[in-house]
Structure 1
Amino acid sequence: MRSDARSNRLRILDAAAEVLALPGDTSLKSIARRAGVGQGTLYRHFPTRESLVLQVYGEEVEELVTAVPVLLDALCPSLALRAWLGRLVELGRCTPEFAGAVHGAAGSPTELCGQAHQPLLDALTTLVDANEAAGTIASGTTPADVLLLVGPLWRVGTDEGGPEEHARSARLFDVLMRGLCPPG
């Protein structure tokens, strides 16, 4: 990648991190404006909103990905899945842009978006496969199924919701986990 293109990419990522952290306009147009690049330049580097947001939250995705083997070494598969999904739900509740990107990327046909989303999907696949091998999850459950089930939890119990909503979110997460991995 040319140095000017690399510089533009870094400016876009920095601007996106700043814009996504603030309330208000988080459009790609506002990100391009803050980065000092045209929308065409932004789209050459990040063809979808999801691909940009997932890159901005790359460290969080990496932490989730690297946690899988550690969790599977320390816990039985169902508890490893529970711990990992708990982290994913908390991240999604705290960062709605991330939650939206994960949800959007799951159905996105673009290759770059898929590449940004793939490590997260691979991590979840490892956990689902471990649970299927252990007989602790319904046979045929896919990572996409799990993400679809987790999605609504991202909207429950946000910081504005107060203690009642946090308790409700925890209760709903327990219901989800009992359904995914029923106690044996």
Structure 2
Amino acid sequence: MTGDEGDTARARRPLRSDAQRNEDRVLAAAAAAFAREGVAASVKDIAQAAGVGVGTLYRRFPSKELLIAAIYRLEVQRLCEAAPDLAATEPPVDALRTWMERFIDFMATKQGMAEALRVVLTDDSEKLQTRAMLAGAIDHLLTPAGGPSAARPGIEAQDILMALGGISLMAGNEDQRELATRLIDMLLHGIVA
């Protein structure tokens, strides 16, 4: 086994429960720190907030960029996993609105990490996979339980995702949050059949 294969095998192996708890705390503390301070957030302060040593943090995330990428991937996964729950508990339009609001909040917290994410997420296949996951979540919300689509004919999840991206650029920061909600409402009026 080569060094790269060994690294890949280790990366796929589930963590011990204590190590998983440490990682969860590190990711939560880092997400809060990066949202608050951007990439200037101190790794030492993140470790302290998570209740772990800096060595523990660096063993799992050898660079700040890898930590940022891990936060991004985890939050994309959580956002996508929220779609089935929302579809099961809310009417389709309400579920879609709630998910869109969460998407805007997710994007707003990434503003401080935007430059680092551009450097870290250079792999086009990863970008395409992320877009596909997010579009899949939107599709799930548009057609809950395989029923009829809540969207007008010709509306596709990728189009909605692109529109949400535009809203997040125009009004995704905390100062413009009310504008983002108004734009989401306008978008929904254009989507819903």
TM-score, with structure 1 as normaliser = 0.59
Cα distance, 1:56 vs structure 2:
3.2
Cα distance, 1:178 vs structure 2:
1.7
1:53 and 1:101 in contact (8 A); partners too = yes
Q: Which residue of 2 aligns with 1:152?
A: 166
Q: Segments of 4+ in structure 1 off by > 6 A?
A: none
Q: Which residue of 2 aligns with 1:31?
A: none
Which residues of 2 match residues 85-164 of structure 1 at below 5 A?
85-96=100-111, 97=113, 110-130=124-144, 133-154=147-168, 155-159=170-174, 161=175
Q: Which residue of 2 aligns with 1:72?
A: 87
Segments of structure 1 that go 5 or more residues without pairing to the other structure are: 26-33, 37-41, 47-51
Cα distance, 1:109 vs structure 2:
8.6
Cα distance, 1:4 vs structure 2:
9.1
Q: Which residue of 2 aligns with 1:29?
A: none
Segments of structure 2 that go 5 or more residues without pairing to the other structure are: 12-22, 41-60
Q: Which residue of 1 aligns with 2:192?
A: 181
* CA RMSD between the two structures: 4.2
Partner Cα distance (1:110, 1:176) in 2? 28
Change beyond 3 A, Cα 1:133–1:91: same
Cα distance, 1:86 vs structure 2:
1.2
TM-score, with structure 2 as normaliser = 0.56
2:104 and 2:164 in contact (8 A); partners too = yes
Change beyond 3 A, Cα 1:131–1:85: farther
**1:153 is matched by which residue type in structure 2?**
I
1:156 and 1:166 in contact (8 A); partners too = yes
Asked if residue 2 in structure 1 is aligned to residue 6 in structure 2, the reply is yes
Asked if residue 82 in structure 1 is aligned to residue 97 in structure 2, the reply is yes
Cα distance, 1:144 vs structure 2:
1.0
Which residues of 2 match residues 33-72 of structure 1 at below 5 A?
35=62, 55-72=70-87
Partner Cα distance (1:4, 1:68) in 2? 30
Asked if residue 168 in structure 1 is aligned to residue 182 in structure 2, the reply is no
Cα distance, 1:115 vs structure 2:
3.2
Q: Which residue of 2 aligns with 1:39?
A: none
